[in-house]
Amino acid sequence: MALELDGIWAPLVTPFAEDESLDLEALAFNVQLYGQTPLRGYVALGTTGEFVHLSDEERGQVIETVVRAARADDRPVIAGVGGHATRVAIEQARRAADAGAAALLVWPPFYYKARMQAEALIDYFTAVADASPVPVILYHIPQNTGVNLSPAVVGELAAHPNIAGIKDSSGQPAQTIAFLREGGPRFRVFVGSTTALLAGLAAGAAGGILAAANLAPYECCEVYDHARAGRWAEAAEIYRRVAAVDEMVAGMGLGALKAVLDMLGYRGGHPRRPLVRPDEPRLDPLRLLLREQRLLGC
């Protein structure tokens, strides 16, 4: 049976203790809490999961922990994988699938980004998809990688039977729409930026893989449900509340997202340096905004 991907997914944070050691107990705790929400599933080792800060061994531990915890409510896990060499990406893909990932979110090689032209990117993603035992989702986040996946490249990759979709984190609705046009009806396009969520859903996106879903899982799912039902006024009202918080959190960085999760009863923990967690005085305006937008109880 094909994996049903449509809906809202949370790209989980990876909690660290104050000494920056991996806190797998906190990670499992968060998944258990999210199991009470309407989230479609979880992404381990996305950008919010600080995959670039983890060793190969730690990445395996994170995937295994999330998969094990997600079994309690029978929700699928997408694992972030990739490599600057194609053979490394293939090895990571196989390991993640062996650990129980239902699909893979594959980031492009970006260190030699000047050489990552259409032919190289098509070869890379095709090779990973050929070798992967589970479906592949392309990861488009040019603001971090410096690598832009053009609609033409995505359209060619969308024809591969094991490439199921793309997460577009560009924040550019026009690019999301181009991916929808070029990908065809089988290809699932996920909005990866809260900024573009409503526009993406209106254009036909399959859902969202959103950092904001960590802190507002119910609200993000309500936006999706209202949009799917054509209740755009209701979707917009909830979206504005989430977007206001997301904008402030994004401006303060991943350490702020982890601090917000602590405020909400999850276990965000600390980021790894050079990322830092804001001190308490800097978090006060964020705490106030959470209350104003009815995301944090008084």
Q: How far apart are CA 92 and CA 80, in angstroms?
A: 9
Please answer whether residues 198 and 175 qualify as being in contact, where contact means their C-beta atoms are separated by less than 8 angstroms: no
Cα distances (Å, whole numbers) of residue 156 to 46, 102, 126, 173:
24, 23, 10, 20
Please compute Rg for the chain using Cα positions: 18
Q: What is the DSSP string of 75-106?
A: --EEEEEE-SSHHHHHHHHHHHHHTT-SEEEE
Q: β-strand 188-191 against 207-209: which pairing, if any?
A: parallel
Please answer whether residues 230 and 47 qualify as being in contact, where contact means their C-beta atoms are separated by less than 8 angstroms: no
| Cβ atoms < 10 Å from Cβ of 82 | 24
Please answer whether residues 31 and 55 qualify as being in contact, where contact means their C-beta atoms are separated by less than 8 angstroms: no
User: Active site residue: 75, 167, 188, 258, which one?
Assistant: 167
How buried is 68 (Cβ within 10 angstroms: 0-12 exposed, 13-18 middle, 19+ buried)?
Answer: middle
Q: How far apart are CA 78 and CA 277, in angstroms?
A: 26
Phi, psi of 270 (to 5 degrees): -110, 155
Task: Assess whether 258 carries a catalytic annotation.
Answer: no
Residues belonging to the active site: 167
